[in-house]
């Protein structure tokens, strides 16, 4: 699909793995922290489109990107929606959104939006239902978090995949097996056992300038703190990031640790957001793109 903008031909096509290095450079241009490996991970998990233009030297350049991921047959998410600063204000973001939404069909679609992107998403029927705080920094001293008698934190095991998929689905209200399985190939994980029953888990992986903690899934805030404290203690002195919902109540505690709030985005949906199990919550996201 092609169109002309100010005499320049713009081509919209499916994103391929070969586009990832150029997409990574595009994200650097808008000051996103993603590494090339972070892009490779999300691209392999989903589908996407690029807007391709002719550069000053006559060679094709990526002017915009948008990716999407299906979570079962009823839900999906959209992310990595970027338009080059040189091409903003030309309707490229809107065209890319149309393409990825067409890819997802009638699924309920979730995304996280800045205030600058809110109007674009509202024009496609998205409404805000929450806020996510981005926290990052370095923790030099982690408090000791006590668990109730009979509970312990242990490393994620090879046989735990189905268990964390089940807990993740309960907490998110939608299937998470595919993304959690992929994460286990690039992340470390710990779980909370209560008399050999898994009741929570948290993963950590390389991301951006350091490490990202997420997802963090637990039945309550105290156990979520225990899981997060495990990673801040293990990686004391490293640069860490975690994205948490404003409603979960973790932000003041994270700030006290040294993970200060640096940004906030809107959680938006087109369709009814998934119904989560009240007894199991997502306290930390995988990422703003993947939810």
The confidence score (pLDDT) of residue 57 equals 64
State pLDDT tens for residues 53-105. 876 666 788 999 999 999 999 999 999 999 998 888 888 999 999 999 999 99
Q: Nearest 5°: phi and psi at 191?
A: -130, 160
- Taken in order of first residue, the domains within the chain and their CATH numbers are 2-106 (3.40.630.30), 134-284 (3.40.630.90)
Do the beta carbons of residue 264 and residue 246 sit within 8 Å? Answer: yes
The confidence score (pLDDT) of residue 87 equals 83
The confidence score (pLDDT) of residue 117 equals 87
Q: What is the pairing mode between strands 210-218 and 239-245?
A: parallel
Computed over every residue of the chain, the mean pLDDT equals: 93
Q: Could you say which residues of the chain have pLDDT below 50?
A: none
CA angle 258, 129, 38 (to 5 degrees): 55
The confidence score (pLDDT) of residue 58 equals 65
And the tokens for 54? 């002719």
* pTM greater than the 0.95 cutoff: no
Q: In which element (H, E) is residue 44 found?
A: helix 36-45
Do the beta carbons of residue 89 and residue 99 sit within 8 Å? Answer: no
The confidence score (pLDDT) of residue 7 equals 60
């Amino acid at each position: 699909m092609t169109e002309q903008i100010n005499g320049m031909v713009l081509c919209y096509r499916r994103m391929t793995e070969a586009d990832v290095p150029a997409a990574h450079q595009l994200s650097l241009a808008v000051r996103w922290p993603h590494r090339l490996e972070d892009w490779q991970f999300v691209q392999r998990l989903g589908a996407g489109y690029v807007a391709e233009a002719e550069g000053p030297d006559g060679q094709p350049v990526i002017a915009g990107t948008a990716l999407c991921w299906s979570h079962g047959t009823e839900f999906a998410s959209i992310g990595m929606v970027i338009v080059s600063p040189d091409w903003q204000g030309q309707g490229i973001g809107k065209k890319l959104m149309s393409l990825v939404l067409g890819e997802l069909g009638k699924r309920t679609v979730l995304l996280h939006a800045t205030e600058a992107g809110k109007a674009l998403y509202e024009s496609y029927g998205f409404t805000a239902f929450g806020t996510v705080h981005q926290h990052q920094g370095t923790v030099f001293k982690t408090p000791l978090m006590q668990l109730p008698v009979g509970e312990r934190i242990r490393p994620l095991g090879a046989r735990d995949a189905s268990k964390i998929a089940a807990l993740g689905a309960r907490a998110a209200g939608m299937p998470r097996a595919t993304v959690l399985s992929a994460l286990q190939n690039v992340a470390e994980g710990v779980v909370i056992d209560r008399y050999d029953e898994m009741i929570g888990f948290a993963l950590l992986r390389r991301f951006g300038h350091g490490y990202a903690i997420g997802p963090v899934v637990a039945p309550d805030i105290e156990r979520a703190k225990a899981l997060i404290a495990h990673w801040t203690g293990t990686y004391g002195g490293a640069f860490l990031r975690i994205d948490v919902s404003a409603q979960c109540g973790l932000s003041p505690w994270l700030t006290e640790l040294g993970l200060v709030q640096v940004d906030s985005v809107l959680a938006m949906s087109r369709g009814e957001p998934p119904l989560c199990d009240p007894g199991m919550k997502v306290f930390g996201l995988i990422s703003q793109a993947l939810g």
